[in-house]
Amino acid sequence: MTDQPPLLSAARPLGALLPGVLSQTTATASSALSTSASSAPPARLSDAELVAVEAVAAAPLPELASCDGQFLAKCLRMLDTLPRRKDDVVGGEVRVRAYELAIGQRPKAAIEFLVTEALRNCRFFPSTSECVEILKRWERRDAAVQEQRQAAISSRHERQARFEDAMTRLAAGEASQDEIDAMPDYWKRVGETRSLLWRCDCGSYVLRPRRGSLQEEVRN
pLDDT, position 5: 44
147-180 residue pLDDT tens = 999 999 999 999 999 999 999 999 999 999 999 9
pLDDT-above-70 percentage for the chain: 75
Structural domain of 162: 1-63+143-171
Question: Total structural domains in the chain?
Answer: 3
17 and 113 together in one domain: no
74 and 163 together in one domain: no
Q: Whole-angstrom Cα distance, residue 140 to residue 59?
A: 16
101 and 210 together in one domain: no
Say yes or no to pLDDT of 214 above 70.
no
Q: What is the mean pLDDT of the chain?
A: 82
110-144 residue pLDDT tens = 999 999 999 999 999 999 999 999 999 999 999 99
214 and 165 together in one domain: no
Say yes or no to pLDDT of 24 above 50.
no
Predicted TM-score (pTM) of the model is 0.65
55 and 147 together in one domain: yes
pLDDT, position 150: 94
153 and 51 together in one domain: yes
59 and 158 together in one domain: yes
Question: Long-range contacts of range 94-98, CB-CB < 8 Å, 24 or more positions apart?
Answer: 96/69, 96/72, 98/128
59 and 153 together in one domain: yes
181 and 209 together in one domain: yes
191 and 95 together in one domain: no
161 and 185 together in one domain: no
110 and 149 together in one domain: no
pLDDT, position 175: 94
